[in-house]
Structure 1
Amino acid sequence: MTTESRNLKVVTDVVCPFCGTLCDDIKVIMDGNRIVDTLNACVIGNEKFKSAQAGHRILAPMEREDNSAEFAPVSYDYAIERAAQILANARRPLMYGWSSTSCEAQAVGNELAEVCGAVTDNTASVCHGPSVMAIQTVGAPCCTLGEVKNRADLIIYWGCNPVHAHPRHMSRYTTYPRGFFTERGFKDRTMVVVDPRPTDTAKQADIHVQVEQGKDYELLDALRTVIRGEDIPDVVGGVKKEDIKALGDLCKSRKFGVLFFGMGVTQSIGKHRNIDIAISFVADMNKYTKFTLVAMRGHYNVTGSGQVMSWQSGFPFSMDFSRGYPRYNPGETAANDILQRQECDAALVIASDPGAHFPVSSMKYYAQIPTICIDPHETPTTGISKIVIPSTIVGVEEEGNAYRMDNVPIRCRKVCDAPEGILSDKEILERILARVKEIKAEKKGQ
C-alpha cells in the first residue's frame, strides 16, 4: 500500500441523495475530508457525491445588481438581510423547489412561506403533481419497494425509463434481485414496458407494448375492459386487440403485480386522469390477484416535500398563503403558472433549478424581479438570480431526513465536512425566517 493510500477510509451504509430510489447501501471512499470514489452507487449517484469537491461549487454569497451580469461577493449576514427584506416587503412572493433538501429544511421553508403570505410550490407541479391529484381523488393501492423485491413476479414500467432516470431501481428492487418469494431473481419475474419508444429499459423487457403517443388513457381503459371479459376494438392506442388481451391475461395470472409509472403518463395528454384510470385498473386487478402501483419520483426528496407540506398545511404542492390561510389550486397556484402570468413580485428558489426546465418566458420574468437562489452549485437559475446563497449538500455534507418514492422515511447521513463557512439550507432559512418576523413586527408596530 502506498503512502497516499494509508489515510483512506470507507464510510458504509450511506444514502445516495440523488433520485427517489434513495439507495442506502452506498460505500464512500474518503481520503481525509475528500471523497475519492464510491462503491455500489450508479454513475449519477457517484457524480453527486463527487460534486462536493467540484469546481462549480459556490463558496460565498453573491449579489448581482439590476441590469448587471456580474456578481459581487457579499457576507452571509448581508445576503440573509437582503433576502429577508425582499421577502418581507413583497406583496406576493413565490417560493419554489424544496425537492433536493431535507425534511427539516422544508419544514422551516413552509413556515417562512406562511409568514410571508407566499405561494410555495415544489417540483411535483412539473413532474408527479398529477399523480398526487389522482391519489387525492381516488386513493391508491401502494406498497414498499421491499415488498416488490420479495414478492412481485410481474413488473410493469409504464411511461418511464429507469435505466437512465433511476439506474439502480431494477437491480435493487424489481427485475434482478433475489427476494424471499422470488428466489431465482429475474427468472421468477416477467417485466413489461409500456412506452411509445424502444428505450433502453424496453430493450431489457420480456414484453414491450409500444403504445401510441398520448394514448395511455385509452390503452388502460381497454385493459380494464378485457380483464372483465368484454370486447374492445381491433386496435386501441396503436396496440392490437390480441396483444391487449394477452397482457390482461398475464396480469391476472400472476401472484403479485406492480405498476411503476413515470412522467410519460403524468405529463402527457390526460395528466391526472391517466393516473385516475391507472389506479382504477390496479383496483380492478385486485379482484383477481395482488396488484399495486408506485410513482417513479425523480428528486430524492420530492416525496418528502409533499409529506411535510401536507403535515403542516394540508396540501402537498402549489400552496398559496396570500389570503392568510393555505389554498390549493394546481394550474392557478403552481410556480410556472404564477411566473407565466407575472403575478409574483419576488421569488426564492431552493434545491431545484427551474432555469434548466421552465419555459424561457417564465425565466425571463424571474430575471426581472428581486430573486434569491439557495444552491450549493452554479446553475442556470443562480446565473439570473439577484441574491445567491451557497448551502451544504444534504446527504453528503449534512444529515437529514428524506422520503423514498414509496413514502418510506430514510435518514441521510453526513459523509464529509462542507467547505469552511458554508451554512446548511435549514440554518439559512431559519435566519431568514427570524429576520422576516422582526421586519413584519416592526412594520406592524409603526
Structure 2
Amino acid sequence: MDNGPFVCTGCALLCDDITVELQDSRVTGVNTACLKGVSRMKGCASPMPCTVDGKTVDENTAIKEAARILKEAKHPLIFGHGNSTLEAQTKSIELARKLGAHIDDTSSFCQGPLVEAILNGKLPTCTLDEVRHMADVIVFWGADPSHSHPRHLSMYSYFPRGKQRQRGWEEDRTAVIIDVRRSDTAAVCSDKLYEIPVGADPEFMGALLSALSSKVPKTSFNMDPKRILELANILKKAEFGVVFAGLGMTYSLNSLDPLFSLMNKLNETSKFHLIPMVGQYNMRGFDHTLFRETGHINRVYFGGEKVEHGPQQSVVELISNDVIDAAMIIGSDPLASLPGAIAKKLSKVPLITIDPCENLTSRVSKVTIPSALSGVECGGTAIRMDGVEVVLKQIIDTKKLADEQIITRIMEEI
C-alpha cells in the first residue's frame, strides 16, 4: 500500500500533506491533519449497517431493494454528493438520467450561487496556491475558518511565507474580517474587524462601494465613515486581493448584484478574486460535474423532454410541495441540515442512504448501504474549494464497495 502523503477529506481544503499510522489494516494515527481531519480519517465512530426495513441484510439484497424503490417511484430524488468522489457523482447523474429523476445537492441551499457565478465567468477567482504565494490583502467575509477549515490560515491564507510574500503575516499580508461578531479568526487576525448587523452585508457592500468611489459612506447602523474609508484605501492598494466568502455572506444576499458591483469596482484599481468557503470535501465537484453535463450546477430534473432547472427543482421546494415519492441520499445527512418541518416531510418518504457512517437520515431510511470511506478505504478524485482537481489515494483495504460501485450496481438492477 502507498505510504503517502495522503489527502484529507475532512473539508474542502483537501490538505495533501497527511501521513498516517497503520495497525491491523486500521488507521490508528493521523499526522499533520486538524482535529476534523483526524476524526474523518480514523473512520466512523458508528459505521452504517447494511439494512432493509431496519433488518440487517447482505449487500446484494439491499442493492436490489434500492433499485426496486427507485424504479417504482414516479418522482425519485437523488440528493447529496458533497462527500462523494467525482466518479460517484458522474454515475449518480447517469442514474438520474436513466430514471428521469430529480437531482440536487447541498449547494442548493448554501454556496451554489457563488460557484455558479464563478463557472459562468461573473466572478474572478484564483487558486489557494496563488493565495499562498501572492495575496497581500485577504478578506474573510461571513467566514470563520479557524473553526470551519482549521488549517486555512496556516496552509494558505494568512501565516504562510509565499514566493512573493516572504515576510508573511507580519509585514506582507493584511487580513480583514467582516462578520456579525468577533470570531476566533478575527481574534487571530489583528484589529481589522468590521462588525456589521445580521443581514447587513448588502448595505455594507453599498457603503464600501461609495468609499471606493471617493464618496462619504453611510450606513443605517452608524459605522464610523472613517473606518469604511480606511478599509476602501486598504483594498485599493492591494496588489493581489482575495475575498473568502462564507455562509454569513451568502445567506445575507438575496441577489448577487451588490457583490458583482463591489468586485467590479475593486478590479478597477486593484486585482481581486473570490473563493467560496465550501464545507464538504467535494460539494464543488458535483457543481462542476453537473454544470459540464447540463449547464446547471444543481436543481435539475431529467423527467421532461428537456432538462428542467429552476427553484422549483430544489430539494427544499420538492419536499415542501410533496413532489417526490422516493429519495436516494449519497454522502449527505439532509435530516440534520434541512429545516425541521421539511426534514419531517422527507423522513416520511422511502429513503435509501449510501454512506460510510450512520447518521440521522440513515436511522429512518428504508434501505441503508454502507460505502467505503473515500480517501481512506477507496480512492478517486475531488475538486477543492478553489476549483482545483485533487487525486485521492486509498490507504487501507476494505470489503466495502465504493459509492461509485454501489450506484453502478443499482443501475444494473434497474
> What are the superposed Cα offsets for residues 121-141 of structure 1, whole Å, 9 maximum, x if unpaired?
011012112323544676111
Which of 186, 198, 206 in structure 2 is aligned with 1:213? 198
RMSD: 1.6
Q: How far did residue 80 of structure 1 move?
A: 1.1
Question: Residue 57 of structure 1 aligns with which residue?
Answer: 47
Answer yes or no: is the 8 Å Cα contact 1:279–1:293 preserved in 2.
no
Separation in 2 of the partners of 1:314 and 1:106? Answer: 15
Answer yes or no: is the 8 Å Cα contact 1:10–1:30 preserved in 2.
no
Separation in 1 of the partners of 2:56 and 2:209? Answer: 60
1:265 and 2:249 aligned: yes
Matches within 5 A, 1:126-205: 126-135=109-118, 139-187=122-170, 188-205=172-189
Quick one: which amino acid aligns to residue 194 of structure 2?
A: V
Which of 433, 441, 446 in structure 1 is aligned with 2:411? 433
Question: Residue 244 of structure 1 aligns with which residue?
Answer: 228
> What are the superposed Cα offsets for residues 219-263 of structure 1, whole Å, 9 maximum, x if unpaired?
111111111112332x35552211111100111122111111110
1:230 and 2:215 aligned: yes
Answer yes or no: is the 8 Å Cα contact 1:222–1:236 preserved in 2.
no
Separation in 1 of the partners of 2:18 and 2:261? Answer: 37
Matches within 5 A, 1:352-431: 352-418=332-398, 420=399, 422-431=400-409
Matches within 5 A, 1:310-329: 310-329=291-310
Q: How far did residue 29 of structure 1 move?
A: 1.4
| TM-score using structure 2 length | 0.96
Separation in 1 of the partners of 2:305 and 2:64? Answer: 24
Answer yes or no: is the 8 Å Cα contact 1:301–1:402 preserved in 2.
yes
Cα 1:163–1:265 change in 2 (3 A) is same
Answer yes or no: is the 8 Å Cα contact 1:63–1:74 preserved in 2.
yes
SS in 1 for 2:28: strand
Name structure 1 gaps, 5 residues minimum: 1-8, 65-70, 437-446
Q: How far did residue 362 of structure 1 move?
A: 1.9
SS in 1 for 2:268: coil
Question: Residue 4 of structure 1 aligns with which residue?
Answer: none
Aligned residues: 412
> What are the superposed Cα offsets for residues 304-351 of structure 1, whole Å, 9 maximum, x if unpaired?
000111112221111111214321103x11112211211101111010
Separation in 1 of the partners of 2:234 and 2:107? Answer: 32
Separation in 1 of the partners of 2:265 and 2:101? Answer: 41
Q: How far did residue 286 of structure 1 move?
A: 1.6
Separation in 2 of the partners of 1:345 and 1:276? Answer: 36
Q: How far did residue 291 of structure 1 move?
A: 1.2
Quick one: which amino acid aligns to residue 367 of structure 2?
A: I
Superposed structure 1 runs of 4+ greater than 3 Å apart:
132-138, 235-238
SS in 1 for 2:4: strand
Answer yes or no: is the 8 Å Cα contact 1:252–1:285 preserved in 2.
yes
Q: More deviation in 377-386 or 281-290?
A: 281-290
Answer yes or no: is the 8 Å Cα contact 2:21–2:30 preserved in 1.
yes
> What are the superposed Cα offsets for residues 260-298 of structure 1, whole Å, 9 maximum, x if unpaired?
111001122x34x2x432233122112212211111111
Separation in 1 of the partners of 2:134 and 2:412? Answer: 49
SS in 1 for 2:42: helix
